[in-house]
């Protein structure tokens, strides 16, 4: 397993944030891409305050449970 997930996130930041249309990558690269994206989404979910959680219909416990799941799950 790679030791530095931050390096991968930084390397893919240009690809992820690029404005041109693209298809989701396949194979091993696609799997890694989806893991990074899932990890990013869960970290953002953990940062939401109660007002925003109410807007999307989640309790704080639901958000905490989801944000603590491993990136591969």
Per-residue pLDDT of 3-42, as tens digits, reads 556 666 665 665 555 555 456 667 888 888 889 889 999 9
Q: Which residue, chain included where needed, has tokens 């807007």?
A: 55
Please choose, from the candidates 56, 48, 52, 73, the residue with its C-alpha nearest in 3D space to the C-alpha of residue 64.
48
- The pLDDT of 45-66, averaged and rounded, is 93
Alpha-carbon distances, residue 73 vs 23, 39, 47, 66 (angstroms): 23, 10, 20, 10
The whole-number pLDDT of residue 15 equals: 56
Residue 17 lies in a domain: no
Domain coverage including residue 47: 25-73
Domain count for the chain, please give it: 1
**In-domain check, residue 51:** yes
Domain contains 8 = no
How far does Cα 35 stand from its chain's mean position? 7
Asked if the structure places residue 41 within a domain, the reply is yes
pTM: 0.62
The pLDDT of residue 11 is 58
Q: What pLDDT, on a 0 to 100 scale, did the predictor assign at position 1?
A: 43
């Amino acid at each position: 397993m790679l030791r530095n997930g931050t390096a991968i996130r930084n390397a893919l930041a240009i690809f992820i944030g690029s404005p041109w249309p693209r298809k989701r990558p396949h194979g091993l690269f696609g799997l890694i891409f989806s893991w990074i994206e899932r990890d990013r989404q869960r970290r953002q979910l953990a940062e939401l305050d109660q007002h925003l959680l109410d807007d999307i219909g989640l309790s704080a416990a639901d958000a905490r449970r989801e944000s603590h799941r491993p990136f591969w799950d």
